[in-house]
Amino acid sequence: GENVEQHPSTLSVQEGDSAVIKCTYSDSASNYFPWYKQELGKRPQLIIDIRSNVGEKKDQRIAVTLNKTAKHFSLHITETQPEDSAVYFCAANGYYKLSFGAGTTVTVRA
Amino acid sequence: GAVVSQHPSWVICKSGTSVKIECRSLDFQATTMFWYRQFPKQSLMLMATSNEGSKATYEQGVEKDKFLINHASLTLSTLTVTSAHPEDSSFYICSARDYGQGAEETQYFGPGTRLLVL
């Protein structure tokens, strides 16, 4: 099945700086890659997703890039703000389900 | 759109009792719902896939007789933890696919149910 690895596990950035989280996947048939943000005790919220026919997608301060050849995709958050502090999960679709990375705890220092 | 609700939000029960958790898609029909379990500081672990009108598909290592799943309608799936024990204490989250959006892979999550078994 699909195996998703996510790095780093923790990330601390100064407010206003950028944050980058990287994920790799194993199944070359995967074609859908969502990113979720989860605040403590709350549900994961879809923040952006990308499909394999697109190399990059941007939504305001958030962008995702996909390299299908290398089987990796990344989340970029620019101009970080304190409310960006949360756990971020990447995922890739397998046969009928999503496989999630281990998560990255992002802390934005004021 | 694409709102998923879950009930109850938290439950405390005695060891040996059963607990039922409901997952509802409020503004769309979900032929497929997923049940996850999440331990503190860990990722989402898929327990089973719930299909409307058919038996659920359980992930390896998940006991189907302990975690009973019923998906009787296009908007409701239930997870029953039978004979709960302290090790079943966890955060249980459901998700649903909104096929109507045309993005069939997108999953929307419920708010989760925190279960504490004493």
Alpha-carbon torsion (B8, B38, B78, B117), positive or negative: negative
Chain B residue whose CA is closest to A34: B106
φ and ψ at B16, to 5 degrees?
A: 100, -15
Q: Is pLDDT at B100 greater than 80 in this prediction?
A: no
Q: Do A89 and B44 touch (CB under 8 A)?
A: yes
For each of chain A's 110 residues, which pLDDT tens digit applies?
A: 789 999 999 999 999 999 999 999 999 989 899 999 999 999 999 999 998 888 999 999 999 999 999 999 999 999 999 999 999 999 998 777 899 999 999 999 99
Chain A residue whose CA is closest to B43: A102
A27 touches chain B (CB under 8 A): no
Q: Do B105 and A97 touch (CB under 8 A)?
A: no
Q: Please report the pLDDT score of residue B27 as a whole number.
A: 87
Closest chain B C-alpha to A98 CA, distance in angstroms: 8
Q: What is the pLDDT of residues B18-46, one digit of tens each?
A: 999 999 999 888 888 999 999 999 999 99
A70 touches chain B (CB under 8 A): no
SS3 call for B88: helix
For B109, which of A44, A96, A101 is closest by C-beta distance? A44
